[in-house]
Amino acid sequence: MIRLLLKRLRRGFIEDRRGGVMIEFAFIMPLLLFVMLAGVDLVRFAMLQQKLTRAATTMADLVSQYESMSATQLNQLFLAVEHVVAPFPLGASGQVVVSSISRVDDPDPVLVDWQRFGPGGVTVTSNFGVQGGNATLPAGFTVGGGDSVIVAEVFYDFEPLLFQFILPPRRVEHQAMFRPRFGALSTLN
């Protein structure tokens, strides 16, 4: 009787592998949790990239549709772009810059006619130059005599929520350029 009981007990230990699954799960669970939490920051960063591209494009497109632009109208567009970037707050971590760049005639330099900074608490410098100064254009982009272009730049200081060693804090910037449709827009009323 005891011999039969010991035989069953030994066979049960050898054949029963239910505890092995728990041990494997205990080893893999921290890795799965880490990958899921790191994915949160990566998804936020990808979403921010998309939102900033859309904000720069929207801002440049809307400004270029005006026949003439006033500072009040531009401020209203700045308020609208905050909704494009939501849920990322522009006020604390971002900035929008809109510039008008033109050339009077072909031998003349390309100038920044006017430049306005929108909502945002981040101090930035436009990549295209300062108001009244010569414009710095991207390689291969030219502005002919009598032409002008509206440039919108959006800057954002990205801070990861969880793992800064995977995706360190960085400044993300996007820009868009549109030609004015109904006028030069070289002055801001």
- Residue 79 lies inside a defined structural domain of this protein: yes
**Burial bucket for residue 108 (CB in 10 Å: 0-12, 13-18, 19+):** exposed
Question: What are the structure tokens assigned to 22, written together?
Answer: 């728990």
- Residue 185 lies inside a defined structural domain of this protein: no
The answer to whether 80 and 55 are in contact (CB under 8 A) is no
- Residue 187 lies inside a defined structural domain of this protein: no
- Residue 174 lies inside a defined structural domain of this protein: yes
Give DSSP secondary structure letters for 81-138: HHHHHTTS-HHHHEEEEEEEEE-SSTTSPPEEEEEEE-S-S-----TT--TTSB--PP
How many other C-beta atoms are found inside a 10 Å radius of the C-beta of residue 90? 26
Give the number of domains in the chain.
Answer: 1
From first to last of the 189 residues of the chain, give the pLDDT tens digit.
Answer: 777 766 766 666 555 566 677 788 888 888 888 888 888 888 999 999 999 999 999 999 999 999 888 889 999 999 989 889 999 988 889 999 999 999 888 777 899 999 999 877 889 999 999 998 999 888 888 888 888 999 999 999 998 888 778 788 999 999 999 999 887 777 778
Partnered with residue 101 across adjacent β-strands are: 112, 149
- Residue 131 lies inside a defined structural domain of this protein: yes
Kindly give the pairing relationship between strand 94-102 and strand 111-117.
antiparallel
- Residue 70 lies inside a defined structural domain of this protein: yes
What pTM value is reported for the model? Answer: 0.80
Distance CA(92)–CA(32), nearest Å, equals 33
State the helix-helix crossing angle for 18-64 and 71-85, rounded to 10 degrees: 170
- 102 is in which domain, residue-wise? 2-178
- Residue 44 lies inside a defined structural domain of this protein: yes
- Residue 52 lies inside a defined structural domain of this protein: yes
